[in-house]
Structure formats: structure tokens, C-alpha cells
Amino acid sequence: MNTIEQAAKRLAELKRAGFEVPAPDMPGHAATPVPSPAPAPAAPVVAAVPVAVPAEPVPAPVAVEPVAIRPVTSAVSVARTAAVETLPSSGRRSREVALDLPRLEREGYLVPAQARSQLAEQMRIIKRPLLANARGESAQAISRPNLIQVVSAMPGEGKTFFAINLAMSLAMEVDLSVLLVDADVLRPSVLARCGIEPARGLMDVLQSPTIELHDVMLRTNVPKLSILPAGTANAQSTELLASGAMESLLDELASKFSDRIVVFDAPPLIPTTESRVLATRVGQVVMVVEAGKTTHAQVSQAYAAVEQCPVVLSVLNRARGKSGEAYGYYYAT
């Protein structure tokens, strides 16, 4: 079969398949119009023209689908990441406040700028055994060793002054964060001394199951130092501190953050009952005693009130030695 006969046979096949084939101008050149005016129909001439041609448009977009899906998946991932990043700030993140550091420094408190001051060195000496106990380095096994309660026998002995200084000094540690709790729920003063407005805090968490710890914690402008205010005054403060809610809160504070030290500025021991309840649930107690003021009988009575705590240390406040120290060295009991 010659070339012309082959071309004629292919044209006949195209017509039977339903394709419209333009009539040639000259019989000797029947094959010429096929590639020139309509090159596309020439491609389907391959074998299964009637079946393959209608089916071709379907696989073509399917093959492109994976390319279209990739950006959609990426967009979903970005949206989820954004949602996670914005979640802490949607009312679930602790509010940030600014401590009045110049005022604290003027009033004799330790601030980060005084890292090499005499007061800073005294606090370094005082905090070392507390940190050793908190890290489990002591010979005695202590439950909740990172919970430290600061107390005094009577009001006015300097326990709040010491508690703030201890928290500041602990915040200077490289691998620790600190939470200062104003647990003197009868006469709270930590916020006022730091230049912060009153806010919800400990009592509110214990009273309402809908309020969580991070709702009332305050992040400060001192790196790694946060404050938990005393919160709204309550006539049943002793019962709240002895409640199951307080037990759960202490468990959370003791175990949720292994690198956090919690310092409680608690009420004086003799005229109140709140500190006695709290002392049975923390790992360490620091007893602040004012030199030349607190009597031996008062100190003895205060120690008896916290005898259930496994570790009780003492600090002699306002003791003036040859070098003018404000604190004396403490001793274990």
C-alpha cells in the first residue's frame, strides 16, 4: 500500500470515529491539510482514539492536584501554629507588672543593679543551704523542699523585707526562677512595697475553682521573678489555707516547675494561726528574729509552732557587727 492509500485509509478511520475532516483541494495532496490547519487532531490518531480522547481531560487535572494541595496543607499548619502562639495571651497568660526598682533601692532592698553589694553577698550566704535542700543535696529527705516559708514570731521583725530580698537574690541564680507569694493574707504588703496596685491572688484561687494560678500570677520586670498577691481578704483565711484546694495548689507549685523556688511571706506566728497551718505543708521555714527586740520566750513559742516542718532555719535581722551587717548568720534547728 502506497503513501496516498495509507493517508486515505486514516482519513476514513477519522470520519468513522466522528471527526470532521476538511476536504482536500487536490486529490494528490489529501494528507497536507491534516498537520497544517489542525495539528491537534493528528495526535489522537494513535490507536485508541475514541476512548482515549474523551478520557484525557480527566487525568490531566488529577495529575496537577498534588501541586494544588501543598499550599493548602501549609496554610493549615501556619494557622494552627498561630493559634498555639496566641493562646497564652488570650486571657490565660500571667499579667506583667513593673516593680518600682528605684524606690526599692532607696528603701534598702536588694535589686539586680546591686549584684555585688554587701547586702547581695549576705543574701548569697543565707540562700546557699536553702538551695542545697531544694536541690536534694542535703542528707535529710524533704518533701516539697522548693517551698520556703518566711515567718517571724511577732509583727515588725522584718520578715517581709527579708522575703523580698531572698526572692530577689534567688532570681539572680542562673538556672532558677522564683515565685514570691504574699501569704500574709491578713496584712498583705508585698505589692505596696513593690509599687504595684492591689490585685486578685492566693485567696481568690482558693475560693473559686474557675480561677487558675496563671490567671493571678504577676510577671515582673525582674527576670525570672513572679509574684502571687494575697488577693481578696476572707474571714475564713485559716480554713482556706488548710483546705484541699490549698493542698492541690502546693502540689502544683512544688512539682509543676522543678526549676522554681517558691517563697511565702507568711503572717507572724504568735498572733495568728495561718502560718502554723502553712508550715505543716512546706519543705523549709526561715524564722526572722529581730536583734534586741524579740524575747527568748517569743522565739521559743514561735519554734514550737513550726516544729512539724522538717527544716527550720533562723536569721537574725538588724544585727550590727563590726562591718555593719544587717543580717546575722543563720543556724539550723
Residues 216 and 166 occupy one common structural domain: yes
Q: Is the pLDDT higher at 106 or at 78?
A: 106
What is the predicted pLDDT for the residue at 12? 73
Residues 133-172 pLDDT 10s: 999 888 788 999 999 999 999 999 999 999 999 999 999 9
CB 232 within 8 A of CB 204: yes
Residues 266 and 161 occupy one common structural domain: yes
CB 311 within 8 A of CB 303: no
Residues 48 and 130 occupy one common structural domain: no
Q: How far, in Å, CA of 172 to CA of 182, rounded?
A: 20
Q: Which of 66-70, 213-217, 303-307 has the lowest mean pLDDT?
A: 66-70
Residues 259-268 pLDDT 10s: 899 999 999 9
Residues 173 and 24 occupy one common structural domain: no
Domain CATH number, residue 262: 3.40.50.300
Q: Is the pLDDT higher at 201 or at 84?
A: 201
Q: How far, in Å, CA of 103 to CA of 98, rounded?
A: 12
What is the predicted pLDDT for the residue at 261? 97
What value does the mean pLDDT of the chain take? 78
What is the predicted pLDDT for the residue at 139? 78
Strand 225-228 relative to strand 177-182, pairing: parallel
Q: Quick one: average pLDDT of 303-316?
A: 92
Confidence of residue 3 (pLDDT cuts 50, 70, 90): low
What is the predicted pLDDT for the residue at 99? 95
Residue with cell 508550715: 279
Q: Which of 5-14, 131-140, 182-191, 246-255 has the lowest mean pLDDT?
A: 5-14
Is 322 contained in some domain?
no
CB under 8 Å to 181, separation ≥6 — which residues?
A: 202, 227, 228, 262, 263, 264, 265
Judged against a pLDDT cut of 90, whether residue 179 lies above it is answered with: yes
Q: How many CB atoms lie within 10 A of CB 64?
A: 10
In angstroms, the Cα distances linking 117 to 57, 98, 114, 271, 325 are 81, 23, 5, 35, 12
Residue with cell 513593690: 194
Q: How far, in Å, CA of 15 to CA of 9, rounded?
A: 10
Is 84 contained in some domain?
no
What is the predicted pLDDT for the residue at 318? 85
Q: Is the pLDDT higher at 7 or at 46?
A: 7
Is 232 contained in some domain?
yes
Is 67 contained in some domain?
no
DSSP 136-198: T-SSS--SSTTEEEEEESSTTSSHHHHHHHHHHHHHTSTT-EEEEEE---SS--HHHHTT---
Is 206 contained in some domain?
yes
Residues 102-130 pLDDT 10s: 999 999 999 998 888 999 999 999 999 99
Q: Quick one: average pLDDT of 272-300?
A: 93
Is 87 contained in some domain?
no
CB under 8 Å to 242, separation ≥6 — which residues?
A: 277
Confidence of residue 248 (pLDDT cuts 50, 70, 90): very high
Domain span holding position 161: 97-317
Q: How far, in Å, CA of 265 to CA of 268, rounded?
A: 9
CB under 8 Å to 195, separation ≥6 — which residues?
A: 98, 99, 100, 103, 104
Share of the chain above pLDDT 90, in %: 57
Query: Closest Cα partner for 215 from 88, 93, 89, 85?
Result: 93
Residues 254 and 176 occupy one common structural domain: yes
What is the predicted pLDDT for the residue at 9? 75
Q: How far, in Å, CA of 191 to CA of 227, rounded?
A: 8
What is the predicted pLDDT for the residue at 94? 77
Residues 300 and 201 occupy one common structural domain: yes
CA end-to-end distance (rounded Å), the chain: 118
Q: State how many domains the chain has.
A: 2
H helices within the chain, ranges in order? 3-16, 39-42, 49-55, 59-86, 101-106, 118-134, 159-171, 190-193, 202-207, 213-216, 237-241, 244-255, 274-279, 296-305
CB 205 within 8 A of CB 212: yes
Confidence of residue 48 (pLDDT cuts 50, 70, 90): very low
Is 124 contained in some domain?
yes
Strand 218-219 relative to strand 95-96, pairing: parallel
Q: How far, in Å, CA of 127 to CA of 124, rounded?
A: 5
Is 186 contained in some domain?
yes
Residues 213 and 309 occupy one common structural domain: yes
Q: Is the pLDDT higher at 83 or at 115?
A: 115
Residues 202-224 pLDDT 10s: 999 999 989 999 899 999 999 99
CB 240 within 8 A of CB 234: yes
